[in-house]
Amino acid sequence: MHLRTSYLYVFLGACFICTFAACREQTPENVEAAIIEVKELRDYDSLIGKNDLLLGVPVRIRHGHTSGHLFIQDAAHLAVIELDEQSNEVRRYGSRGRGPGEIQSLDDFFISAEHLFIVDGSRFLIHKYSRNDGQFISSLNYGELLMEGNNSSERGLPPTPRAPLTSNNNRPFVTYNETVLLPAQTGGEYLYRVVTFEGEKMAHIGEIPDGYIDFINDEEIRQSLKNNRVPAHEMALAFPVNDLTNLNKIFIVYSAIPKIARYNLHGSKIWERSITPTPELDSLMIDLGNVLQNRPNQRVSLLPVKKYMAGRSSPDGDVYLFTYTNMDTPHTPRRPMWIHQFDSGGILMHRYKIISDVDMFYYPGIDFNKRRIFAPSFNESDIRIYAF
């Protein structure tokens, strides 16, 4: 009897130790994330199914919160298509060519109240068009500004981390009040250089994270990934998100760390916050370590750390960030796209999980008034509409 009692005490003690250890490993941030309910988005309507609209390959979608119009980047037609609230085509911006306002590479686009901007990354140009009639107005040659702003001019233009359709990091960005943010991390002490559309210098935005190194060798990258750490050269990957509550402010999202900060466009940081860990982000990091465990000779250049890919802001000041899905990372399981909603102070509020039988491009548009998400299917002409 005494022996059984001893075994029982040993068993209960072991359980207590395990439970205590588990509680210590689970940080307050993890507990906070665990209690945020996940809302699954399964049912959808098809934008193309209801209309005769002919799209090639829709990639990025933006919703005009004042007009209610939808703007679609069509990679096949090298144009941005504007649709009204009945999904009728209003106009197209840009076309293939080398003349004024024509495009060789449609990397991204941005809208303001009066204009639409298209980034032609192959020629380092940002084209400006009128939203009244779609006509081309002028271009900004940002390549010259990148060369001028690079502290190590002998290096030439800063390298782009990934192809423009599969990465949003450290690329030109035009704010809703038509201020231009140009990537400036290479050889510098900041992430973005702020200029007017005429090229006039305004400020620097975005601090380089502690521990960032602009180059590390493949073995250092492998060791970081095997230990589920972000390699030092990817710590400065970031993208801006408009702040619709104040057009003189901007959110900067560090996509790999991850972290979110709010700045004004004069360069002053208002606040900065590390983003709450979640299982869906942790799993993406674990995937890369598993690849190297199972395939030691895998090229590490094909395994960049991607957690958040893009973001949209609501007129109320909330920020919605879209996660990566492993769609172009080899030998990793396909992951659903998640949308994390943060309040204006960077606190995680809601988690949405899109359940889909196909990969989704992670640049959806959001209609905040009607609570709809417009998500393009990867390499297909379909755009799905999810209510949330």
Measured between its terminal Cα atoms, the distance across the chain in Å is 60
Q: Report helix, strand or coil for 25.
A: helix
On whether the CB atoms of residues 260 and 250 are closer than 8 A, the answer is no
Please list, in sequence order, all residues whose beta carbon lies within 8 angstroms of the beta carbon of residue 275, skipping any fewer than 6 positions away: 257, 258, 259, 260, 281, 308, 340, 342, 346, 348
Write the pLDDT tens digit of every residue in 259-318.
999 999 999 999 999 998 999 999 999 999 999 999 999 999 999 999 999 999 999 999
Write the pLDDT tens digit of every residue in 104-125.
999 999 999 999 999 999 999 9
Question: Is there a domain that residue 7 lies in?
Answer: no
- The answer on pLDDT for 3 being more than 60 is no
- The answer on pLDDT for 30 being more than 90 is no
Separation between Cα atoms, residue 318 and residue 47, nearest integer Å: 26
Question: Is there a domain that residue 30 lies in?
Answer: no
Question: Is there a domain that residue 315 lies in?
Answer: yes
Question: Is there a domain that residue 222 lies in?
Answer: yes
pTM of the model: 0.88
Question: Is there a domain that residue 55 lies in?
Answer: yes
Question: Is there a domain that residue 1 lies in?
Answer: no
- The answer on pLDDT for 31 being more than 80 is no
Question: Is there a domain that residue 27 lies in?
Answer: no
Please tell me which residue, 333 or 150, carries the higher pLDDT value. 333
- Stretch 366-384: mean pLDDT: 93
Write the pLDDT tens digit of every residue in 173-219.
999 999 999 998 656 789 999 999 999 999 999 999 999 998 899 99
CATH for 361: 2.120.10.30
> For the chain, how many structural domains are there in total?
1
Question: Is there a domain that residue 15 lies in?
Answer: no
- Stretch 218-245: mean pLDDT: 96
Which amino acid appears at position 159 of this protein?
P
DSSP 176-237: TTS-EEEE--TTSSEEEEEE-TT--EEEEEEEPPTT--S---HHHHHHHHHTT---GGGTT-
On whether the CB atoms of residues 330 and 345 are closer than 8 A, the answer is no
Q: Are strands 348-354 and 38-41 parallel, antiparallel or unpaired?
A: parallel
The domain containing residue 319 runs over which residues?
38-159+166-387
Could you give phi then psi for residue 191, rounded to 5 degrees? -90, -40
On whether the CB atoms of residues 287 and 329 are closer than 8 A, the answer is yes
